[in-house]
Amino acid sequence: MENNHKVKHIFVTGGVVSSLGKGIASASLGMLLQSRGLKVTIMKMDPYINVDPGTMSPFQHGEVYVTEDGAETDLDLGHYERFLNKSTSQLNNTTTGQIYFEVITRERRGDYLGKTVQVIPHITDEIKRHISAVALSEPDLDVVITEVGGTVGDIESLPFLEAIRQYRLDIGKDNVLNIHLTLVPYIASAGELKTKPTQHSVMRLREIGIQPDILLCRTERALPEDLKAKIALFCNVPIDSVISAADVSSIYEVPLYFNAQKLDDLVVERLNLKCGQPKLAKWNKVIEKLRNPQHEVTIAMCGKYVDLQDSYKSIIESFVHAGVSNDAKVKLKWISSEILEKQHPSEYLSDVAGLLIPGGFGDRGIEGKINAVSYARENKIPFFGICLGLQCAVIEFARNICKLENANSMEFNSETPYPVIDLMEQQKRVKSKGGTMRLGSSMCKITEGTLAHKIYGKTEIMERHRHRFEVNNDYRELLESRGMILSGINPELDLVEMIELPEHPWFVGGQFHPELQSRVLEVHPLFREFVAAALKFKQKNTNANS
């Protein structure tokens, strides 16, 4: 096994129930270690058999996060990027599907030389190879944090747990730390916090040869010392390694909460890491702003999955960042696009200061989105269209300003007389669904003097994509002649990437997903300026009504 011994590894497993926030815990610890001057990266291992989440429904999976190099990955990678303020790559997300795909491909090639191919050692070796690849992916990495998806006790996560058990032996116990995130529920009828589920979860881990070094106990209320002592005794860890992870009001407070309990000190000491004290001044400032916003503004989110907010995770977080940079609390008003097909948009949009139409697939609710765009355009409400949102804005403009009756996207109506949104030539040949969209980062040239130019402050930007359809170049001239500005163009593929309307205070669309690049300490300029425009709109309306 190829290993870089200088790199230390932290494995984060989860117990008792899912959704305890392993991703946030990993990202928070990563951020704390990074703030001490260490070079850190985080990877996620997902036990499902899909090669990646790109083919899963949002109901199954939530948001599909796209990396710069075009991998469709788990939404936890978004947390890693937002907390660490650095980009991840396809190496940072491994699935059972990928592991088996590679092992079976190797078997078909004859690489196993007649051996029987088995979970141990072949699958576990492949998992370990993926972990080592991340450790070698950047020069001078100090720490790789690996989050193991699923819950201890699941059949499908066993090979991953076995692989991390072996990894500790392979690279030496001083180079590895196992952190287990578990639940200590509060039972209201007994008025007590209960440690038994944690004891059982640790028992399961120890049965397969993993002794956790640190326990992060998720609780509704902070753990008292006597309970910590009890957990320490039963789970065979020192008492200072039982950390209480009580609920906090924002995910961005988690690192500070861990720091207050000296989690990073503990990790540094255990792994014998050479580094300074954490520098958290900038992060503290963000939390300060987050807790005490001076203003408030409501923005409508009009999409298909309004009951499933995990599918818009990065957008929601981008609004938190944009709120901080505008000293405002951004309230999101979720509106199902289907409702706007039956009811007039004014019923839902007259009290908002901005409208965002996010990305999406399929025709359900499309007409509602187009109605919402009309309302925002006519009433000069700040509008921000992301990917499908841009496509809806182009359809609306084609129908109502260019008078192209029944203009549409070929995705929603293949019989439309005016296919203003259409597949790119190379997409027309694509048959299989997995990993075949236009994916990952590409360059966009921005026209000088446009609103986009003012927002970005430069003429060349890199943004990430995930879509099949594009603005149809046959209609570019007409759209421009009626006043739409095509402010961003991909020079290599000659495709429209950004649109805006000059007669409107803030009407911007992007064919890409800017939300994938907004970070806690570096808000994305489009979100920052959209929220600023919404605040201005609100101010103007309040003045007009008073």
Strands (E) in 158-255, as ranges, are: 176-183, 186-187, 192-193, 214-219, 242-246
CB 40 within 8 A of CB 268: no
- Point out the residues that are catalytic: 387, 513, 515
CB 388 within 8 A of CB 511: no
Query: Which among 126, 118, 149 has a CA at the least distance from the CA of 47?
Result: 149
CB 354 within 8 A of CB 300: yes
Element spanning 376, H or E: helix 366-378
* 361 is a contact residue toward ligand GLN (CB under 6 A): yes
Choose between 214 and 395: whose C-beta lies nearer to ligand GLN.
Answer: 395
Minimum distance, C-beta of residue 354 to ligand GLN, in the bound complex (Å): 19
Alpha helices in 253-311 (DSSP H): 254-260, 263-270, 281-291
* 101 is a contact residue toward ligand GLN (CB under 6 A): no
Choose between 323 and 509: whose C-beta lies nearer to ligand GLN.
Answer: 509
Q: According to CB under 6 A, which residues from 63 to 82 bind ligand GLN? A: none
Query: How would DSSP label each residue in 102-138?
Result: HHHHHHHHTTTTTPPP-IIIIIHHHHHHHHHHHHTSS
Q: Which of 43, 387, 508, 516 binds ligand GLN (CB under 6 A)?
A: 387
Q: According to the 3-state scheme, what is the secondary structure of 413-438?
A: CCCCCCEEEEECHHHHCCCCCCCCCE
Query: Which among 261, 287, 277, 281 has a CA at the least distance from the CA of 34?
Result: 277
Q: Which of 176, 245, 388, 516 binds ligand GLN (CB under 6 A)?
A: 388
Choose between 252 and 305: whose C-beta lies nearer to ligand GLN.
Answer: 305
Minimum distance, C-beta of residue 460 to ligand GLN, in the bound complex (Å): 23
Element spanning 409, H or E: strand 408-409
* 435 is a contact residue toward ligand GLN (CB under 6 A): no
* 168 is a contact residue toward ligand GLN (CB under 6 A): no
The pair of three-digit structure tokens given for residue 293, joined into one six-digit string: 């916003």
Stretch that binds ligand GLN, among 55-63, 294-302, 356-364, 516-524 (CB under 6 A): 356-364
Choose between 38 and 71: whose C-beta lies nearer to ligand GLN.
Answer: 71
- Strand order across the 8-14 sheet: 93-95, 40-46, 143-148, 8-14, 176-183, 214-219, 242-246
Distance, CA of 371 to CA of 8 (rounded, Å)? 54
The single-letter DSSP state of residue 232 is: H
| SS3 call for 85 | coil
CB 441 within 8 A of CB 390: no
Q: Which of 70, 150, 360, 385 binds ligand GLN (CB under 6 A)?
A: 360
Stretch that binds ligand GLN, among 116-124, 131-139, 154-162, 467-475 (CB under 6 A): 467-475
Stretch that binds ligand GLN, among 309-317, 466-474, 488-496, 523-531 (CB under 6 A): 466-474
31 contact partners, CB below 8 Å, separation of at least 6: 83, 84, 255, 283
411 contact partners, CB below 8 Å, separation of at least 6: 361, 362, 363, 421, 468, 469
How many positions of this chain bind ligand GLN (CB under 6 A)?
10
* 25 is a contact residue toward ligand GLN (CB under 6 A): no
Choose between 267 and 376: whose C-beta lies nearer to ligand GLN.
Answer: 376
User: Residue with the closest Cβ to ligand GLN?
Assistant: 359
* 364 is a contact residue toward ligand GLN (CB under 6 A): no
Task: Provide the sign of the torsion angle of the four alpha carbons 410, 413, 419, 421, taken in this order.
Answer: negative
* 369 is a contact residue toward ligand GLN (CB under 6 A): no
Q: Which of 283, 312, 469, 506 binds ligand GLN (CB under 6 A)?
A: 469
* 200 is a contact residue toward ligand GLN (CB under 6 A): no
| SS3 call for 474 | helix
* 466 is a contact residue toward ligand GLN (CB under 6 A): yes
* 313 is a contact residue toward ligand GLN (CB under 6 A): no
Stretch that binds ligand GLN, among 81-89, 333-341, 358-366, 446-454 (CB under 6 A): 358-366
Choose between 14 and 360: whose C-beta lies nearer to ligand GLN.
Answer: 360
Minimum distance, C-beta of residue 478 to ligand GLN, in the bound complex (Å): 20
Stretch that binds ligand GLN, among 174-182, 353-361, 452-460, 489-497 (CB under 6 A): 353-361
Minimum distance, C-beta of residue 469 to ligand GLN, in the bound complex (Å): 3
* 167 is a contact residue toward ligand GLN (CB under 6 A): no
x-marked contacts with ligand GLN along 399-428 as a string, rule CB under 6 A: ------------x-----------------
Distance, CA of 159 to CA of 386 (rounded, Å)? 39
x-marked contacts with ligand GLN along 243-282 as a string, rule CB under 6 A: ----------------------------------------
* 359 is a contact residue toward ligand GLN (CB under 6 A): yes
* 365 is a contact residue toward ligand GLN (CB under 6 A): no
Minimum distance, C-beta of residue 470 to ligand GLN, in the bound complex (Å): 7
Strands (E) in 139-292, as ranges, are: 143-148, 176-183, 186-187, 192-193, 214-219, 242-246
Distance, CA of 326 to CA of 528 (rounded, Å)? 7
* 467 is a contact residue toward ligand GLN (CB under 6 A): yes
Which residues of the shown chain bind ligand GLN in the complex (CB under 6 A)? 359-361, 387-388, 411, 466-469
